[in-house]
A and B are shown apart, each in its own frame.
Chain A
Amino acid sequence: MRAFFAGLSIVTGLAMAMVSMPAKADPAPDIGNWQSVLDQARGQTVYFHAWGGEPRINDYIAWAGAQVQERYGVNVVQVKLSDTADAVAKVLSEKTAGVDDGGAVDMIWLNGENFAAMKRNDLLFGPWAEQTPNFAYVDVEGKPTVINDFTVPTMGLEAPWGMAQVSFYYDTARLDSVPKSAQALLEWLVKHPGRFTYPQPPNYMGSTFLKQILTELVEDPKVLQQPANETDAKKVLAPLWGYLEDLQPLLWRNGQAYPQNGASLRTMMADNQIDIAFSFSSGEVSSAIEVMELPDTVRSYVFDKGTLGNTNFVAIPYNASAKAGAVVLADFLMSPEAQLRKQDPQYWGADTVLAMDKLPEDMQKAFADLDLGIASLSPSERGTVLPEPHPSWMELVETEWQKRYGVVQ
């Protein structure tokens, strides 16, 4: 990198001389001493890089920011992204330029593959998450994914923020019964060709659908928890490709074109182009009904054998400017109060990461009293939560999918 940078500085000698880098190294906060973290955080501004595609979520983040400002004097600014990769790229470019302190990104909303990649390339600060006060309420026993992001141990490098579980949805005005397994979906499509599709991998939702099918069809789901190269990957994936061979021609537009993301599935539902769609939370469907994106006759359901579930996290880059402030914000986001509001479909409608039995009684009651929304599934209706495969499976599936179905001409 030094050569690269030297090259640049020669070209820009003049400009370089004119400016000096402000040194604003923020000593790593001592998480064990919470009061010192709070002291250090006061007056800091946290630039929280988060997907900005949903006004309700943006409003929620603005609310959390206002709370943290009022209580701890930490200023929060949401940098609205269309793609988490932009925040990762930012950190990477800073590392390339040798800016190991005073970076532009203080916190990122991420999970799964992005976390694995950042962890692998040493782009994260920590461990910190498990020593924060509110982590005590997190449901580590009941929801193992709060410390295992797509099977990769988080090791305190990110704090759980919310739970997600795949749920399917359909319009009760159009369908009476729905297929509740991979096999049933295939049989249903034979009778209703073209009325289902999935976003084009490597889109996150599209890959999730493939993993859902894989998890259901694989002989021994446990192999998916290990990195793919430690197993006979070809054999493990064979049932998935067999299934897709039958499925592809029955998809919307015969599998010649795909929607680009999960949001497009909602649009296609509203336009009556497909009959069954899916998302990562049934609360999302409820809120789409509320903002008139979907008709109020839409309802959610899950497959009989369960659906994939995971946890969203927030992480702090290794060179963040306001690490203490970011830790304080992350801690607040895990607080019962913030989680309660998050689960309320009026504000967001995403599931909590907390364990009810660890909460004070008044909070337990408040969670129990929430009206989850017209199309949301109650915890008892959600069935088994299937664990996400190791990220290496996703890479394999995406690459192979691209070869088989990504080129149809």
Chain B
Amino acid sequence: MLRLFPAFTLILMIGPVCAGLIGTILPGFGYLPALGGDVISIDPWRDLINQPGLGISIRLSLINGLIATLISFLVVILFCAAWQGTRIFGVMQRLLSPILSVPHAAAAFGLAFLIAPTGWIVRAVAPLAGWERPPDIVTLQDPLGIALIAGLVAKEIPFLLLMTLAALPQADANRTRHVALTLGYGRVVGWLKAVLPRVYPQIRLPILAVLAYSTSVVDVAMILGPTTPAPLAVRILGWLSDPDLSRRFLASAGAILQFVLVMIAMAIWWGGEKLVAWWGHVWAEGGMRGRRDDTVRSFAAGTAILSAAAVFLGLASLLVWSFAGYWSFPEFLPRSFSLRLWMREYDMLGAALWTTLMIAVLSVGVAITLVLGCLENETRRFQKPGQGAMLLIYLPLLMPQISFMFGLQVFFTGIGLERTLISVVIVHLIFVLPYIFLSLADPFRALDPRYLQTALCLGASPARLFWLVRLPLLTRAVLTAFAVGIAVSVGQYLPTLLIGAGRFATVTTEAVALASGGDRRMIGIYGLLQMILPFAGFALALLIPAVLFRHRRGMGNRNRI
């Protein structure tokens, strides 16, 4: 039974993922008979290379993706190093976790309303400066993409932090840290030298996921990023939705290029890792204890708090907008408030929330079952999945989603499953499963085998071992994976719309359609509504271990940090 899990997972993924790939690669080389392309050619590539500003688009995708990932990583690591085990750490953990449930687009809109020349910050200063008109300055969509990096960092810090938190217990971080402190190391240096080398391998995959996401992001880039020209992924989206259908060939070539860019970004990161590992070795052996690290510690706390504050203030602005009457510059608050739009959307809400919840719970439930089954199979048989299988699972994260979608549609239409709940759940699974794998694989593999050996010695069967020892030890990691999965599922717009053929109206499909009308009030309402389900997921992920283990001190510790 158990040995079927990897095979079954692969079967579920192979069809759609290959279809998505084929649907991108063939048109990328001129083959799409429905549009009259029936010979293989490199014309799409010639066309792509001739696009004005392509080099800048590539630079924006690659460099900004790397910088955003690096900053998010550094902030999280420094913050953990500086504050793990303190009260501030607990508070920040509780503050940052719910941010993960904020949809990327909502966070970006919120941030935009803070830092735009018409945003809250300028409005706060305007009366003092005597501005009646917003200053004509570029704080959003700046040519270097700094606003875009900021938006990505604010959203990725919570994700990486949560992944790190799930990894810490397996790295035995607390005791290691204490030993380092006892040996006279400063907090930060002690952590970096003793804990980080154990934690890093566990959060490596999530970091690469962040890197892939930042390099190919579309929604955040459309709101905060430059447009003259835009990063590559945004331009691909433009080509794909061009009324001139022949641009799809160009778009497909662009998508392949985008995939290569993500690979290059990963190679650069991997090279960086090697370099740092080599240098870190020397550094660790150098014996520097770094006892005076107050500045570093304040800096780490400062940046973490700043990023959380930015998202929360952004959310507050969405909330205010959703109730706003007429609100012009430079008024700090709207002239009037109104419940009108909330009332108007009320009727539709219940149904949309149910549909969203149903799809999310089904796809996440299946994903967690499959991933746990695969991991359990792997531990019992001492076989790691092959590289090819892993690549297949992570592919959906590496390709721009939109370019993947055409092949997926053809596939589901071809097997006659399009427009059914099954196909929508499967297509969500394709994007949810990699994240569940990311969240669970490393904590699962890092479990101390001695617990299991002890249980085996006491005569427990492998099944009993799984249910009574392994799973409880992994409660926190499983629940975190569950919450992450819910957030990923709820956020899916294109797959839900296209594979479901519009038959499944979720909070997100409604939100994105309405947001295209540009009324900030609707954007506010739906940004907030999109948060509800993932937020509930994260709340449960925090609450359940607390309730479950209230009478088991050791377990409580394992599942706390």
Residue positions of A touching B, CB distance < 8 A: 1, 4-5, 7-9, 11-12, 14-16, 19-22, 47, 49, 51-55, 77, 79-83, 85-86, 88-90, 92-99, 104-105, 112-114, 116-117, 120-121, 194, 200, 202, 252-253, 256-258, 260-264, 266-267, 270-273, 291-295, 391, 395, 402-403, 405-409
Contacts and interface: CB of A to CB of B under 8 A. Distances in A.
A378 B324 CA distance: 31
A8 B22 contact: yes
A138 to B, nearest CB: 24
Given A98-B414, A407-B56, 11 more contacts: A12-B411, A80-B502, A86-B241, A89-B240, A93-B406, A93-B409, A97-B411, A202-B242, A261-B516, A273-B134, A409-B53
A97 B417 CA distance: 12
A52 B516 contact: yes
A339 to B, nearest CB: 22
Contacts of B324: 292
A14 to B, nearest CB: 7
Given A85-B241, A395-B244, A252 B136 contact: yes
Contacts of B516: 51-53, 82-83, 261, 263
Contacts of B118: 271-273
B143 interface: yes
A98 B413 CA distance: 9
B181 interface: no
Interface string B403-430: 0011001110111111100000000000
Interface in B379-438: 405-406, 409-411, 413-419
B197 interface: no
Nearest to A54: B517
Given A80-B505, A266-B518, A96 B32 contact: yes
B491 to A, nearest CB: 15
Contact of B33 (A96, A120, A391): A96
Given A256-B138, A407-B53, A263 B519 contact: yes
A19 B107 CA distance: 41
30 contacts: A4-B31, A4-B33, A5-B410, A11-B14, A19-B416, A77-B503, A79-B497, A81-B497, A82-B515, A86-B498, A89-B240, A92-B35, A94-B409, A97-B414, A104-B418, A113-B244, A117-B244, A200-B228, A257-B140, A261-B518, A263-B516, A271-B328, A272-B118, A291-B519, A295-B326, A402-B51, A402-B52, A405-B228, A406-B52, A409-B143
Contact of B143 (A81, A116, A256): A256
A54 B26 CA distance: 37
A295 to B, nearest CB: 6
A8 B415 CA distance: 10
A271 B228 contact: no
Interface stretch (B161-169, B263-271, B506-514): B506-514
Interface string B233-273: 00000101111110000000000000000000000000000
Contact of B501 (A21, A79, A92, A261): A79
A11 to B, nearest CB: 5
B138 A8 contact: no
Nearest to A294: B326
A264 B340 CA distance: 22
A89 B502 contact: no
A96 B244 CA distance: 17
Given A1-B33, A273-B133, A88 B501 contact: no
A94 B419 CA distance: 12
Interface string B308-345: 00000000000000001111110000001010110010
Contact of A96 (B34, B325, B328): B34
A160 B177 CA distance: 72
Contacts of A77: 502-503
Given A22-B416, A52-B510, A408-B143, A92 B245 contact: yes
B501 A104 contact: yes
A264 B56 CA distance: 25
Nearest to A391: B243
Nearest to B334: A292
B411 A8 contact: yes
A112 B243 CA distance: 9
Contacts of A105: 501
A257 B18 contact: no
B227 interface: yes
Nearest to B408: A93
Contacts of A200: 227-228
